[in-house]
A and B are shown apart, each in its own frame.
Chain A
Amino acid sequence: MMRKTVFLLLACAILASLWGCHKSSNTDQGPRRVLNIPDDFKEWSLFQPGSYWVYKNEKTGIADCTAYKHGPYTWQANYTNVPLDETYIWFYTRGNQVTGYDIKGGLQGNATLLLNMAGFYVSVLALNNNTILNPGHGDTSNSYSTYKFIERWDTLIINKHPFPDVLHTRNTWPGYYVVFDFYWAKGVGLVRLQKTGTDTDTTWSLMRWKSVQ
């Protein structure tokens, strides 16, 4: 009886000492998830050096070129505190509209493309893979902005050029009084960009381009 008591108390002491500095373990967080960028999404969003896009201002007629600056850079984030691996690919562009493309793998086959808009120091969600796979199912918002699918055309003619399968997405930033409308064509990139502010409304439409993929 006494031995049993001593044994129990000793066991309690060891358990208590271990509990005193208990660290949460990661073993109960499920299998490791890898967030890759689907190949199909890359055809919409990922370009290589040598790419350029010349846009025409629909109001003034002036042209502006977005040209590949450098990249692409790939980074695989392997988190140790959660069982998660995320893939990032980004590249920089030179121009007055877009200064960078930032692609990231998402959950359950999703992936996102954020654009660094010139003069707007926040990345803007411009396209995600859920929108491509199932338009309307990629809509998302946070406390700053709302991204949503607007329309999908079988063919959209821009500057007399017919682009097949064009996706129109919109990102609204109420706090900044600005709305970005993006028109995407697979294998080409951004074919039209509309920026709407409180007293500005500028549309840039693609005239010439070279999309290297």
Chain B
Amino acid sequence: MVKKFRAISILLLTGLTAALCLNGCTKESEQSYYIQETFKPWSIYKPGSYWIYLNEKTGAQDCTWVYAISRQMSYEGGNGSSDPVIHREYIMMDLSGKLFNAITVNGQGSDESLMEISPCVRYFDAIGFSNQMMLNPSFRHYFEVHQIYNLGVKTVYPSETIHGNTFTNVYDLRHEWLNYTGDSLVTEAHLVKNTGIVLYRTYRESKDTTWSLLRWKVIQ
């Protein structure tokens, strides 16, 4: 009887040990992060969309247009790693023109999506925007070793008139930073829902260029 009880105890405790071990390192269930529907009017533009910008100094015009769009779900974690499995929605738009060459949007979490607009000029960083920046605009100052930069939504203009067109709720996306040689660089992009970038300014050590929206067509 005693032997039987001991055997059952050992069996139960071995099971308990294994359960506790496994429970301690349990994997989270799979997650799928989609781009929020409320963020899409800010970030998704289908082929056929175009924006014609005017260089305010030279008077030159440039047309940026969307010629391709693709969607995919990325897959992270799993495959034996301890990281949880995450499926992430990506929407990529290829652009043509002298100002921007791509827009990428992806789901980051249940309430966060990221948007990146890549400029054609190599030494300017991508313009970043997110669902949380849209909901809670903020401008942050960063100071780290060899890295000094300010990033975020500098201002939300209730309205802005450009070439006779009045836009409301304009987000001034600003990135100010120092490069390797200590030069100051600035990008300023004014983003409007259902329209796109209405003003794009770049500054690099005394070279200041502003492109402002003249005409546009947006397909979402």
Contacts and interface: CB of A to CB of B under 8 A. Distances in A.
Given A2-B6, A5-B6, A77-B145, A16 B13 contact: no
A91 B178 CA distance: 12
B13 A10 contact: yes
B182 A100 contact: yes
B181 interface: yes
B2 interface: yes
Contacts of A93: 182
A70 B25 contact: no
Contacts of B144: 75
Nearest to A22: B24
B24 to A, nearest CB: 4
A107 to B, nearest CB: 17
Interface string B1-27: 010011001100110110011111100
Interface string A52-94: 0000000000000000011101010100000000001011110
Contact of A21 (B5, B25, B143, B178): B25
B17 A16 contact: yes
A133 interface: no
B219 interface: no
B17 A100 contact: no
Interface in A5-25: 5-6, 9-10, 12-14, 16-21
B17 A17 contact: yes
Q: How large is the interface on B (under 10, 10 to 19, 20 to 34, 35 or more residues)?
A: 20 to 34
Contacts of A19: 21
Contacts of B123: none
B17 A116 contact: no
B121 interface: no
Q: How large is the interface on A (under 10, 10 to 19, 20 to 34, 35 or more residues)?
A: 20 to 34
A75 B25 CA distance: 37
A20 B25 contact: yes
Given A13-B20, A16-B20, A70 B6 contact: no
Contacts of A181: none
A129 interface: no
Nearest to A89: B145
Interface in B120-176: 143-146, 148
Contacts of B14: 9
B6 A116 contact: no
A93 B16 CA distance: 66
Contacts of B10: 5, 9
Contacts of A2: 2, 5-6, 9
Nearest to A99: B181
Interface in B2-60: 2, 5-6, 9-10, 13-14, 16-17, 20-25
A86 B118 CA distance: 35
Given A9-B13, A16-B20, A92 B25 contact: no
A17 B18 CA distance: 8
B181 A100 contact: yes
Nearest to A12: B17
Given A2-B5, A6-B9, A9-B9, A102 B146 contact: yes
Closest 3 CB pairs of A and B: A92-B182, A17-B20, A9-B13
19 contacts: A2-B2, A2-B5, A5-B10, A13-B17, A14-B20, A17-B17, A17-B24, A20-B21, A20-B24, A21-B25, A71-B182, A73-B148, A75-B143, A75-B144, A90-B145, A92-B181, A93-B182, A99-B182, A102-B146
